[in-house]
Structure 1
Amino acid sequence: MAALAWLLIPLLAAVGAGLWGGWAGRHRKTAGDGTELAGYTRFREAMEKSHSGT
């Protein structure tokens, strides 16, 4: 019975690793780069305005 327990430990570890790998590699839905690019554009415009008077 003890040998069976020692064989189940790597089996359970492999199943756990497979589940974790599947969860970590899933395709996530992202909002896209549109909001980040819009924020960068606003930042760049604000920086150009603050230096244009110099």
Structure 2
Amino acid sequence: MAALVWLLIPLVAAIGAGLWGGWAGRNRKTIGDGSELAGYARFREAMEKPRTEV
């Protein structure tokens, strides 16, 4: 009986690793990229403007 318990430990670990791998590799929808890209576009436009002397 003890040998079966020792054989179940790697089996449970493999099932847990498979579940974790499936969860970690899932497709995630990114929300908010539009505002970040718009901010980057504004930054680029500001950097391309010629410098004015004060």
TM-score higher than 0.5: yes
**Sequence identity, in percent?**
79
Equivalences for residues 1-54 of structure 1 within 5 A: 1-31=1-31, 33-49=33-49, 51-54=50-53
Per the normalisation by structure 2, the TM-score is 0.77
Name the amino acid aligned to 2:52: G
CA distance in 2, matches of 1:14, 1:32: 36
Tell me how many residue pairs correspond in the alignment.
53
Q: What residue identity is the alignment partner of 1:31?
A: I
Which stretches of structure 1, 4 residues or longer, exceed 6 Å deviation after superposition? none
Runs of 5+ consecutive residues of structure 1 not aligned to the other structure: none
In angstroms, what is the RMSD of aligned CA positions?
1.8
**Higher helix proportion (structure 1 or 2):** 1
Residue identity matched to 2:36: E
